[in-house]
Structure 1
Amino acid sequence: MVSESRSGRRKAAAVTLAGLAALAWTWRAEPAGAAFVPRPLARELRDLAVDCLAVGTVQPALSALSEAEFAAIVEILGRLISAYGSCDYESFLALRAGDLESASERRAGDLERLREFGRELALSPEQMRGDWVATLGAFWSVYYERPAVARFLPEHTLVELHAEGLGARSLESWRQSFVALRDRLPGSWIQHDLCLPHRRSIEQVARDCGPLRWLDLELHFETFAGLGARLLARFVWDGVLREWFLQDAASVYATGDRSQRHLIL
């Protein structure tokens, strides 16, 4: 494969960006009735996501992506950047829009523990009166006194879109490939227990959606303490529900103490 120049990739990305308005929600192909519908992603966040693709490492090459694939990746990157660079809970929810109702039901048994964490941050009972999603939002608002990310480093972005399926691998072997991605660079890490899990298991998705498709993302950033860090996320395409969902996530801190306000995933 002939590698693309950065200027050429920027130009190609800019051209594709011009057509994104109509594709803004292609990452979630079908609305789910009265489901949560977030505001469109701000143009500056979309531009930063495109810049990550233009100057980072993308496989397959940008020129090989369909418009729908490009739009989906830009939307996901933009929402991640917005959530942690701007403390935007709406963007956090946008990546899980179809799973909000089921997540509140599935996490109901953990709600009191979340409220305990909220009380430690001086949240009142009135602020934590809602379900899991509402209480998590209240916790988010006080946990992030300022954004977790001081700045993202687009040139270090890694994006890999996979459509080859599992092949002869087991699901466990496939899961370990994410661990290998997490551990490819040194640092102390946090493997996240996802706050809002997908409403269908990965076993179901792998069984009834044809060849498994997934997206591995690595966003490098600096914290306000000056620490180098990276966010890794694996999104999987649910062909039955026609939406991307977060399957795995990890934060890796290259240096220093990881005990600061870390990312909520």
Structure 2
Amino acid sequence: MQQLATDFINFRGKFRIGGLIDVGTQMSLIRRANGRYLLIDSYGVEGEDRGALLGLTDNGAKIDAILNVHPFHTLHCEFAHRIAPDARLLGTKRHRENAPSLPWDDALIEDAATQAEFAEELEFSVPAGLELVPDNDRVHAASVLVRHRESRIVHVDDTINVLAAPGVLKSVVPQSRLKFHPTVPSALEKRAGAADAFAAWARDLAEKWADTPTVCAAHSAVRRLPHGGWRDEILDALADTEKALSKHRGTYG
């Protein structure tokens, strides 16, 4: 559990691939202006972190909604629902299809109308030109990015990565700069203009959220940015994808 700002807490959790490699996962708790809370993503917190979460939220009763923002992050949705069973449970269309036994809200988090309900505290962005739910379930490039207005902290799953060394090496090996998910080329919509749409989205996001001080990235780390770091690193990440974008333009136009 990391208190990153007065009204923003990030929980880091374990997620093992094949039961061996821990690639990590995350969930963020945001305190609203009215003193109640929002959960961004789902994770089955345990131990001291669980106690702290329940203590802050009156055993989950003060959590208004759980916003699941990556269509392929579904494993812990039931755990989060148990923490706050009376909270609105929101996700993407795939969340509802993948876990139909849960009491999903009819609203979808990828829809602008749903995002507008939380506009007082949060900003949202969905990558243009990418398939949110590709046929290949290993392609995790697209998600709904969330930025907390008060702290300007960004919570993002997969779309933007931070490469960090495992275990004790984290303290001696520097983090990478922000990078787009390596499956972006596979996630591009198979149509003319998709590459340009993604590039335009990335450039706009670099400017619009330029004053972002911190990024909470799933599977990796919390990255604290230098002044101007968000803009510079997003544009560098875009430049890294240019070869793939050019190839897509050559195929689809």
TM-score normalized by the length of structure 2: 0.29
Relative to its length, the structure with more helix (as a share) is 1
Relative to its length, the structure with more strand (as a share) is 2
Identify which of structures 1 and 2 has the higher relative contact order when contacts are C-alpha pairs closer than 8 Å and 6+ apart: 1
